[in-house]
Amino acid sequence: MFDLITGQTRHIPSKPGVSILISMSAQAALLGAILVPVLFFTGALPEVPTMMAFVVEASAPPPPPPPPPPPAAKSPAPASAKPAPSPGAAPVEPPSTIQPERPNDEGDIGVPGGVEGGIPGGVPGGFVGGLPGDIPPPPPPAPPPPPPRAPVRVGGQIEAPALIRKVDPIYPDVAVSARIRGVVILEANVDRDGYVVDVKVLRTASRLLDGAAITAVRQWQYRPLVLNGSPEPFVLTVVLTFNLVEDS
């Protein structure tokens, strides 16, 4: 130690062979101490088989299921009786064979068994001697409906019904200014209800006065004219006078 402080070292020579021998002896002793117990216990342990297998006999498979019962035999359906076809009905089933159409001979006189003197194509039980030659004429056409009755003209024994609504004519201002006077005679057609439906001028005074008279009479209404218990249209004559009142 003092050599290290003073800086002076001293090397002690060693023998390399002795050190190697001591190291090998120590390793051998350590290895022997480990292997000897292991070998001791290894010899005492039982041998374990490398593979253990158990063989069990397989159980017998279950028996197969019984076969299904055979299907019940279907009883044949009773054949329905086919109705007898009517003579004029069309065939339902196609015919097995098709007969050629019989040509129309000129000597064909109709159904066998016809009556002598009948017409071609007659049937048994027809009229003896055939149909009569003269065909009766068709019935005459129905007569046309009677024309509507003309309106009854009032006069003589037929009195005019009472006037229940009267409208006085308006004197036109132009006629008053022109001092036009006159008498207008009209023919009025009255329906079954008493209303005036048409007016015709029989005598004119002037165009202004005629128009005023027609306008007024068209608004008149009479009582219905009853003949034999039923109302009837009628015709009557109406006279209207247009006159100016003179100033006194």
Contact 238, 217 (CB under 8 A): yes
Domain annotation covers residue 44: no
Does residue 235 sit within a domain? yes
How many angstroms separate the CA atoms of 224 and 197, rounded?
Answer: 13
pLDDT score at 166: 93
4: confidence class by pLDDT, cuts 50, 70, 90: very low
Mean pLDDT estimate for the chain = 75
DSSP-assigned beta bridge partners for residue 198:
189
pLDDT of residue 209: 94
5 lies in some domain: no
Q: What is the distance, to the nearest Å, from the Cα of residue 127 to the centroid of all Cα atoms in its chain?
A: 55
Residue 211 lies in a domain: yes
Query: Which of the residue ranges 1-15, 60-74, 87-101, 149-163 has the most confident prediction, judged by mean pLDDT?
Result: 149-163
pLDDT number for residue 123:
58
Domain-located, residue 168: yes
221 has pLDDT over 90: yes
Return the percentage of the chain with pLDDT > 90, whole number.
29
Q: Identify the pLDDT of residue 59.
A: 72
pLDDT tens column, 52-73: 555 666 677 788 888 888 887 7
Determine the Cα–Cα distance for residues 205 and 211; give it in Å rounded to an integer: 10
Residue 231 domain flag: yes
- In a domain? residue 41: no
Mean pLDDT, rounded, for 115-124: 56
Higher-confidence residue: 237 or 36? 237
Structure confidence at residue 223 (pLDDT): 94
- How far apart, in whole angstroms, are the C-alpha atoms of residue 219 and residue 186? 14
Q: Give the predicted TM-score (pTM) of the model.
A: 0.42
Contact (Cβ atoms closer than 8 angstroms) between residue 83 and residue 92: no
Range of the domain at 229: 153-242
Specify the CATH number for the domain of residue 216.
Answer: 3.30.2420.10
Total number of domains constituting the chain: 1
Higher-pLDDT residue of 177 and 52 is 177
